[in-house]
């Protein structure tokens, strides 16, 4: 599995990981992902899936990069500390690799939240700090509030159909060495299906054409397009080991410049909301 640097840290993460929001697949698909090198697992205190992640990483904790999140409703200093401790218990581990603020909360001063996030790193309970659903302005403010540690990642919506971050946030993250964790990289499934069943059949026909040319599936092309950008890692979710295996096959090869351009053109017209 291709590795990418995690922000400005010395850590690396796989180009393709797995997400476990609304996940019901049990331990097997997660073990399958880890065995195939998709060893970044993204969960959250709000998902109700930290326990199954804890079960999946038992005895192989050192091979897995666990990303979890504190909810945006728990961003007071002591709430962050309590949320992290509860996540550690559910995950049955003594450290979190990447601890992310799930969504911003303008009611809590960002400096207070970041002080707690940094305290967790200083105590060895968290390795790296991330945020999620932060705009460029929110990210800038969060960075300014850090004293000892960098913000390593911002987890945001990104896929062929949803490219809003390309205008501003992505260039900002590139310039500041902040990894983008692309969530919902299959647009919740439609990018993995046939053009015929799609609400945007013309663009999907181009995806299918590229899939045929590369002897890959639609899902693999859509995910490869996502991670073709050097600063982006994708975290698709599947309950099924066979699909996890398919999604892992999205890394380790490259779309040509011509194929990238074809996809960019076919899908860019849709990105108008």
User: Of these, 187, 211, 251, 266, which contacts ligand NAP (CB under 6 A)?
Assistant: 187
User: Of these, 9, 39, 93, 132, which contacts ligand NAP (CB under 6 A)?
Assistant: 132
Length of the chain: 273
Q: Is 21 in the site for ligand NAP (CB under 6 A)?
A: yes
Q: Is 194 in the site for ligand NAP (CB under 6 A)?
A: no
Whether the CB-CB separation of 197 and 204 falls below 8 Å is answered with no
CA-CA distance, 14 to 37, in Å (whole number)?
A: 7
User: Of these, 35, 55, 239, 264, which contacts ligand NAP (CB under 6 A)?
Assistant: 239
Query: Measuring CA to CA, how many Å separate 82 from each of 28, 69, 269?
Result: 30, 12, 45
**Residue (127 or 162) nearer to ligand NAP, CB:** 162
Q: Is 39 in the site for ligand NAP (CB under 6 A)?
A: no
**Residue (147 or 197) nearer to ligand NAP, CB:** 197
- On the 0-12 / 13-18 / 19+ scale of CB atoms within 10 A, 56 is buried
Whether the CB-CB separation of 13 and 3 falls below 8 Å is answered with yes
Q: Which residues are catalytic?
A: 47
- Contact string 240-269 vs ligand NAP (x = CB under 6 A): x--x--xx----------------------
Beta bridge partners of 159: 162
Smallest distance, ligand NAP to C-beta of residue 147, A: 25
**Residue 205: what are its φ and ψ, rounded to 5°?**
-65, -35
Q: Which residues bind ligand NAP (CB under 6 A)?
A: 19-21, 42, 102, 132-133, 155, 183-189, 192, 219, 235-240, 243, 246-247
């Amino acid at each position: 599995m291709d590795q990418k640097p995690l922000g400005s840290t010395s850590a690396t993460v796989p180009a393709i990981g797995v997400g476990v929001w609304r996940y019901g697949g049990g331990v097997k698909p997660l073990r399958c992902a880890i065995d195939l090198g998709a060893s970044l697992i993204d969960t959250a205190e709000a998902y109700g899936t930290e326990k199954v992640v804890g079960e999946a990483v038992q005895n192989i904790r050192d091979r897995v990069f666990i990303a979890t999140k504190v909810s945006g409703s728990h961003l007071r200093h002591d709430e962050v500390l309590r949320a992290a401790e509860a996540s550690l218990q559910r995950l049955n581990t003594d450290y979190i690799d990447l601890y992310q603020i799930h969504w911003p909360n303008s009611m809590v001063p960002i400096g207070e939240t970041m002080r707690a996030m940094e305290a967790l790193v200083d105590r060895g309970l968290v390795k790296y700090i991330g945020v999620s659903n932060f705009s460029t302005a929110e990210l800038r403010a969060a960075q300014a509030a850090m004293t000892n540690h960098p913000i390593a990642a911002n987890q945001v919506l990104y896929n062929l159909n949803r490219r809003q971050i390309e205008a501003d946030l992505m260039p900002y993250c590139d310039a500041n060495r902040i990894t983008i964790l692309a969530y919902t990289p299959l647009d919740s499934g439609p990018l993995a299906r046939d053009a015929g069943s799609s609400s945007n059949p013309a663009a999907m026909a181009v995806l299918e054409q590229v899939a045929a040319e590369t002897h890959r599936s639609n899902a693999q092309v859509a995910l490869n397009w996502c991670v073709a950008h050097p600063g982006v890692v994708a975290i698709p979710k599947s309950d099924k080991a066979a699909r996890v295996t398919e999604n892992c096959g999205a890394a380790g090869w490259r779309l040509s410049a011509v194929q990238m351009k074809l996809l960019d053109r076919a899908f860019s017209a849709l990105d108008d909301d």
